[in-house]
Amino acid sequence: MSRHAPGGQALRTRAGQALARRLGRDAITGMITHWARERSVVSRHIYREAMARVGAAVHVVTTAGPAGRYGFTASAVTSVTDDPPTLLVCQNRASDANRAFKANGLLCVNTLAAAQERLSAVFAGMTDCDMDGRFAAAEWGTLVSAAPVLAGALVSFDCRIAQVVEVGTHSVLFCEVVALVVGPGHEGLIYFGRRYHPVRVTVPG
Ligand SMILES: Cc1cc2nc3c(=O)[nH]c(=O)nc-3n(C[C@H](O)[C@H](O)[C@H](O)COP(=O)(O)O)c2cc1C
């Protein structure tokens, strides 16, 4: 016997059925659940559907140097440690930009303010712009490295790439922060449920 989550995936195992009983059908409404005991059978599609429920800040990650000037939109950015200050960026390997980032050995993570939402589409390649056209859509400076620093970003982390680990389709770039600038904006941008949402600090009254 199997119970079916609304997403159409069967909860086939005893453990899966127990989970469904515990959560109840309402709790799993809209959730695609696939429970497997012996090996990973979570497809790319299901994994991506699940990750769409995990909100994340939106960044434009840039590099410049002998391998060229490139930038791409990324949400897979997270802090690793504050000593030494290190963050990681996950970048798809199937692009010229990936080779250039690794060859230049430096990058800047520019966290978008709500008002900069348009740049997310531009740097995700969703417009007609070539790479120079993408950079023409905003103003840029530099800090310590040569990587472009976005004017008006919530915060920009200027980094040297300290280590690269290849995992599946992506390169995990471990980056040591060599300088940063905190911008004037107070309204952030979150990508959640495949949509953009502005977020702001509210002071409890
Ligand atoms: C909101 C959002 C988040 C993204 N996050 C990532 C990411 O973390 N890593 C990545 O490699 N690509 C990410 N992408 C996709 C890249 O921005 C896009 O595939 C890339 O720029 C390829 O386009 P291009 O080859 O025209 O430059 C994201 C796209 C969007 C719209």
Ligand 1 pocket check for 98: Cβ under 6 Å: no
Question: Is 158 inside a domain boundary?
Answer: yes
Tokens of 139: 């103003």
Q: What is the tally of structural domains in the chain?
A: 2
- Residue 166 pLDDT: 98
Q: Looking at the structure, tell me whether residues 29 and 123 fall in a common domain.
A: no
Could you give the C-alpha distances from 23 to 33, 42, 46, in angstroms and in order?
12, 20, 19
Check whether residue 103 and residue 32 sit in a common domain.
no
**Long-range CB contacts (< 8 A, 24+ apart) of 42-47?**
46/7, 46/9
Looking at the fold, whether 111 and 181 belong to one and the same domain comes out as yes
**In the prediction, which pLDDT does 185 show?**
85
Q: Is the CB of 74 under 6 A from ligand 1?
A: yes
* Same domain flag for 58 and 102: yes
54 and 18 co-located in one domain: no
Together in a domain, 17 and 64: no
CB 182 within 8 Å of CB 155: yes
91 and 128 co-located in one domain: yes
Please, what sign has the CA dihedral across residues 78, 60, 93, 176? negative
Residue in the block written with tokens 């905190």: 182
- Asked whether the beta carbons of 49 and 181 are under 8 A apart, the reply is no
Q: Considering only CA atoms, which residue is closest to atom 7 of ligand 1?
A: 74
Instruction: Please give the distance, rounded to the nearest whole angstrom, from the Cα atom of residue 199 to the centre of ligand 1.
Output: 21
Kindly state whether residues 116 and 32 are assigned to the same domain: no
Q: Output the pLDDT for position 36.
A: 45
Looking at the structure, do residues 35 and 60 belong to the same domain, yes or no?
Answer: no
- Regions of the chain where pLDDT drops below 70: 1-17, 19-20, 23-40, 205
Q: Is 191 in the pocket of ligand 1 (CB under 6 A)?
A: yes
Residue at 41: amino acid letter: V
Q: Is 61 found in the same domain as 21?
A: no
With the most atoms of ligand 1 within 8 angstroms of its CB, the residue from 72, 98, 109, 111 to mutate is 72
Mutate to test the pocket of ligand 1, among 59, 62, 69, 73 (most ligand atoms within 8 A of CB): 73
Q: Is residue 33 situated within a structural domain?
A: yes
Q: Is the dihedral of CA 157, 158, 163, 169 positive or negative?
A: positive
Q: What are the structure tokens assigned to 47, written together? A: 């994994």
- Res 19: pLDDT: 66
Tell me: the pLDDT tens digits for 76-124?
A: 999 999 999 999 999 999 988 999 999 999 999 999 999 999 999 999 9
**Domain hosting residue 28, numbered range:** 8-40
Whether the Cβ atoms of residue 40 and residue 46 lie closer than 8 Å to each other: no
3-state SS, residue 24: helix
Indicate whether residue 125 lines ligand 1 (CB < 6 A): yes
pLDDT of residue 43: 87
Q: How far is the CA of 17 from the centre of ligand 1 (A)?
A: 36
